[in-house]
């Protein structure tokens, strides 16, 4: 998942869970049924899981652009010069 | 959010937090319910009234209990625990409470009832003070929620009196 996708996924997860929580409480209170509230919320959690946890393709619309290998060869990595370490007396 | 495990963990934690909020709201909504319970207790008969070998008074009663506790049930109620206690004063204790009967009411439909029984638990005094004693019969109830705070209240019915002599 690319960065943009990760940001979208986080927001989507929070919104879906909050909305299903609010709807669950309102409908449960209106129908005087605790069970209804729990069922609606459980459904909301399952929906949020299906939407946000798997790596769907639409979360990868802004892929990272890695450096091309031929370009990388033109700019070699700097060599680390081995320094002499003075030991403590 | 870079892996399944990360996203799954974040989702689960947030979902449980929201569940906690929902349960708190459900419990808070109990404060808005309009509760109008009613009850009446009649003593039909004093079955016997003796002084036990240990020196304590004991009395056996037949009670007729009528109650309507339906308004105590809300959407967040698991069950209502009701009990009847005899309350009286002696020189030894400023308040004696003896539980005579109790019941667990699991549903609203069962909360309006009429029952005639002898006392479920023995009415024994700490001493021999019960002759001619005036006492109250109090119906206590505890409304046990599915989540959150438990409410308890009572109705005090006074004007009952035990006989002056053993029988």
pLDDT in tens, B14-73: 999 999 999 999 999 988 888 899 999 999 989 989 888 888 889 999 999 999 999 999
pLDDT in tens, B1-11: 788 899 999 99
Q: What is the pLDDT of residue A88?
A: 66
| Residue ranges per structural domain of chain B | 1-31, 34-159
User: Which residue out of A30, A34, A47 would a mutagenesis test of the B interface target, given it has the greatest number of B Cβ atoms within 10 Å?
Assistant: A34
A34 vs B1, B15, B75: nearest CB: B75
Would A77 be classed as within a structural domain?
A: no
Q: What is the pLDDT of residue A20?
A: 95
Nearest CA in chain B to A60: B2
pLDDT in tens, A38-80: 999 999 999 999 999 888 888 888 888 888 888 777 787 888 8
- C-alpha distances (whole Å) from B94 to each of A57, B89, B91, B97 are 76, 5, 7, 10
A17: pLDDT strictly greater than 70: yes
Residue A15 sits in which domain range?
Answer: 3-55
Would A34 be classed as within a structural domain?
A: yes
- CATH number attached to the domain at B34-159: 2.60.40
Percent of chain B with pLDDT over 70: 100
Number of domains forming the structure of chain A: 1
Would A76 be classed as within a structural domain?
A: no
Instruction: Choose among B143, B138, B131: nearest CA to B154.
Output: B138
Would A41 be classed as within a structural domain?
A: yes
Structural element, H or E, at residue B18: helix B4-28
Would A88 be classed as within a structural domain?
A: no
Query: Angle CA(B59)–CA(B61)–CA(B67) in degrees, nearest 5?
Result: 140
ipTM of model: 0.77
Question: What part of A 3-62 touches B (C-beta under 8 Å)?
Answer: 6-7, 9-10, 13-14, 17-18, 21, 24-25, 28-29, 31-34, 37, 41, 45, 48-49, 52-55
Coil/strand/helix, residue B86? strand
């Amino acid at each position: 998942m690319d960065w943009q996708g990760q940001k979208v996924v986080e927001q989507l997860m929070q919104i879906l869970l909050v909305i299903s929580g609010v709807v669950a409480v309102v409908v449960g209170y209106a129908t005087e049924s605790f069970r209804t509230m729990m069922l609606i919320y459980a459904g909301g959690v399952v929906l949020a899981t299906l939407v946000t946890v798997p790596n769907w393709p639409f979360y990868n619309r802004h892929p990272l652009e890695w450096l091309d290998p031929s370009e990388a060869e033109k700019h070699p990595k700097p060599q680390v010069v081995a320094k002499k370490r003075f030991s403590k007396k | 959010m870079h892996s399944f495990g990360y996203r799954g963990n974040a989702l689960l934690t947030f979902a449980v937090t929201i569940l906690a909020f929902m349960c708190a709201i459900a419990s808070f909504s109990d404060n808005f319910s309009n509760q109008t319970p009613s009850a009446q207790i009649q003593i039909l008969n004093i079955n016997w009234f003796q002084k036990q070998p240990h020196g304590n008074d004991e009395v056996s009663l037949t009670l007729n209990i009528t109650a309507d506790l339906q308004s105590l049930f809300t959407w967040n109620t698991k069950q209502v625990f009701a009990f009847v206690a005899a309350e009286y004063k002696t020189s030894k204790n400023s308040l004696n409470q003896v539980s005579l009967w109790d019941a667990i009411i699991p549903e609203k439909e069962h909360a309006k009832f009429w029952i005639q029984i002898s006392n479920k638990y023995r009415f024994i005094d700490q001493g021999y003070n019960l002759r001619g004693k005036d006492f109250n019969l109090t119906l206590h109830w505890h409304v046990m929620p599915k989540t959150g705070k438990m409410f308890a209240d009572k109705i005090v019915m006074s004007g009952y009196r035990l006989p002056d002599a053993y029988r």
